[in-house]
Amino acid sequence: MHDCVYLGSDQWGDWFGQRAGWRSHRPGRDFPAEGDNVTLLPPSGDFTATFNAEPATYRVYIDIAWDVRWEAGEPTGIDMDLDVVDARDGRGIWIDDRDEWDEHRVAYGYPLGIVERLETLAIDLERKVIAHTAPFDAATPAAWSARLQALGSVAPDA
């Protein structure tokens, strides 16, 4: 769960924002966001794409997911391990956590159709990030970051 605010929607999906210092929680970890970020939740519900403000190490971090949606006032879904990462530190763009994906798809018996769909999605998203195709360009998330900045620093209700 992340403390975040709904910013609006465009042709790419719904956008959420998180200011530096707002909390993120997951099993075994509770931490403040190191910097501002905006996250895209597309209508397909099969990934979330987080765009981090500088100086964060990762410009873009895409979580391949299952059934991501807005429910009871917060985004929810299942992380499917594969990630697409665009690092600012010179490491480039790559698909991350393939080892976890391989382990979990076997251990949990993911159906072949789902495996093929999500692997194809990860490759497609990696190509789009490499090409800086919208919404993975600079301008699209910058517009949503500006909207987040305009809201100020008041944290959302917990």
Per-residue pLDDT of 26-46, as tens digits, reads: 677 787 888 899 999 999 999
Q: Is residue 43 part of a domain?
A: yes
State the CB neighbour count (10 A cutoff) for residue 137: 13
Q: Where is 98: in which H helix or E strand?
A: helix 98-107
Q: How many CA atoms lie within 13 A of 102 on its CB side?
A: 5
- The pLDDT assigned to 152 comes to 82
Q: Is residue 150 part of a domain?
A: no
Average pLDDT over residues 3-8: 91
| 101 close to 82: Cβ distance less than 8 angstroms | yes
Average pLDDT over residues 64-82: 87
- The pLDDT assigned to 64 comes to 97
- The pLDDT assigned to 156 comes to 64
Q: Is residue 121 part of a domain?
A: yes
- Strand 47-52 and strand 37-41: the pairing is antiparallel
The answer for 90, left when phi > 0, alpha when psi is -120 to 50, beta otherwise, is left
Q: Is residue 72 part of a domain?
A: yes
Query: Which residue spans within the chain are E strands per DSSP?
Result: 5-10, 13-18, 23-26, 29-32, 37-41, 47-52, 58-71, 74-87, 92-96
Low-confidence winner among 35-49, 69-83, 98-112, 123-137 (lowest mean pLDDT): 69-83
Query: Could you list the residue range(s) of the whole structural domain that residue 102 is in?
Result: 5-142
Q: Please give the tally of structural domains in the chain.
A: 1
Question: For the domain that residue 132 is a member of, what is the CATH number?
Answer: 2.40.380.10
Q: Is residue 65 part of a domain?
A: yes
| 38 close to 139: Cβ distance less than 8 angstroms | no
Average pLDDT over residues 13-37: 84
Average pLDDT over residues 96-124: 96
Q: Is residue 151 part of a domain?
A: no
Q: Is residue 155 part of a domain?
A: no
> Hey, what's the torsion of the CAs at 136, 30, 104, 56, to 10 degrees?
30
Q: Is residue 21 part of a domain?
A: yes
Q: When comparing pLDDT for 55 and 25, which is higher?
A: 55
